[in-house]
Amino acid sequence: MTAMTTGNTSRADANRRRILDVALAELLRDPDASMDQIARAAGVVRRTVYGHFPSREALISTLVDGAVEALADADARARDGVADPAESVARSVLAIWEIADRYRLLVALAQRTVTVQGIRERLAPLRANKVELLQRGLAAGVFSSPLPAPALAYVHEQLLFAVMEAVNDGLVAADEAGRSATVTVLTAAGMPASLATALVAKVSAES
Q: For the segment 64-83, what is each residue's pLDDT rounded down to a tens digit? A: 888 889 889 999 999 999 99
pLDDT at 3 over 50: no
CB 169 within 8 A of CB 183: no
Separation of alpha carbons 56 and 26, rounded Å: 13
Classify residue 153 by burial, with Cβ atoms within 10 Å: 0-12, 13-18, 19+.
buried
Q: For the segment 92-136, what is each residue's pLDDT rounded down to a tens digit? A: 999 999 888 777 777 767 666 665 567 778 888 889 999 999 999
Separation of alpha carbons 72 and 123, rounded Å: 9
Separation of alpha carbons 162 and 127, rounded Å: 17
Q: Which pLDDT belongs to residue 90?
A: 96
Q: Give 38's DSSP letter.
A: H
Separation of alpha carbons 201 and 206, rounded Å: 9
